[in-house]
A and B are shown apart, each in its own frame.
Chain A
Amino acid sequence: MKTPAVIKLVTAGAKDRKQFVAGSAVALIAAAFLLMLPGFAGHATISLFSRIFILAVFGMSYDILRGFTGVINLGHAVFFGSGTYLAGILFLRLDPTPGTLLLAVIVTVVYCSAAAFIMGKIAFRGGGVIACAMITLALGEIVRHLAETWRDVTMGADGLTFPIPYMFRDRLLFYYYALLFLILMVIVLRRFVLSPTGRVLLAIRENEQRAIFLGYNTTTYKMISLQVGGISAGLSGVMFALLTRFANTELLTIQQTLNALLVTIVGGTGTLYGAIVGTAFVQLIQHYLLTLRDVHPVFTRWLLFFGSIYILVVLYMPAGIVGAYRQLADLLSSRNKKKIA
């Protein structure tokens, strides 16, 4: 039997329950695996996974904007990098204590909220998606340039090394902190996208003009989306500071933004979980391709292979890994239904 390329004629009622059961099962297995991982994995793997957890939150924050609202923000790294810098600067100037960390979190939330407000006020001034992308790109570059030239505070291009609170220095313990952070952010962001507000964001992504004619003030909703995305990214930046104990201007570049874009595309945009899967996929591939350099020196050029894999994913899984999984599940359930009928 030939099936159409895109299977979307799906009913939801029974699917919702099935999806919930399947989703819970996947989440439980993943949680069990991740909780036990430190039992048999080495230090390098544990650090790699801590990194994945933190960058996954950054990816999700980007998905809120691009995947759910349809806004392309090319300056998103500003929130992430600022979180890392703010935490680093505070640890360096004050004492590296849990109190300072709390202060860093508060300062980051306030800073990212203000930055998102300013960015949104400029970028959502009636221009289209492209105008928004260009304006956010320019704003991002301005912040990066400021960080590079303000050497007294940021150490410029040399980067900033800083101490962190004692309780976060243990890699194993930090692994669990990072996992907890990811789980908390998943719960919060999932609630957000399932809220009435989150649904309006989808409407804006689908057809902004129609959303306006339903009576939604779409600019306000986009501002909310940018607030949520910006603050989440900032918090992941603070966690990243605890992981690397180092900040440099690379964290503020468009490359950092594109990394988030990349993981959402690979994992599946507009799915939230796609960002987690995508981050794990990208980081693990990068890691294992690099370890292959002992086999053959060509693997030091891991980007070559990574690029090829990326193109294959985009060509054959345009909805990303999570999207492809859902399509497959839909396909199977609709076949079952036919058998019953």
Chain B
Amino acid sequence: MNEHEQEHTLSYRFLGMILLGLVLLTAVTVAVSYRHWGFLNVPIALFVASSKATLVLLFFMHIKYEGMVIKVSFISTVVVLAIMISFTFWDVAFR
């Protein structure tokens, strides 16, 4: 097919760096959970989790090197999930 089909080989070193980043983020989120900032704890935990997920997706799952089809459809899936959750709150948040 026309688009370049070059396979990306990521070095062990680079993958190791990603792992290190993931472990550090895990440490951060566990550390934060021992502090009580009330409402703030939840957004922080979710933000850290999303960052970790992004790292896994981009590099371990090679999404960074994929074509538009996978990138766009992945984002659409996340949007669908967000709609599923948020639209349910039209009901439960206003009952």
A and B assemble together? no
Instruction: Spell out A's residues near B (CB within 8 Å).
Output: none
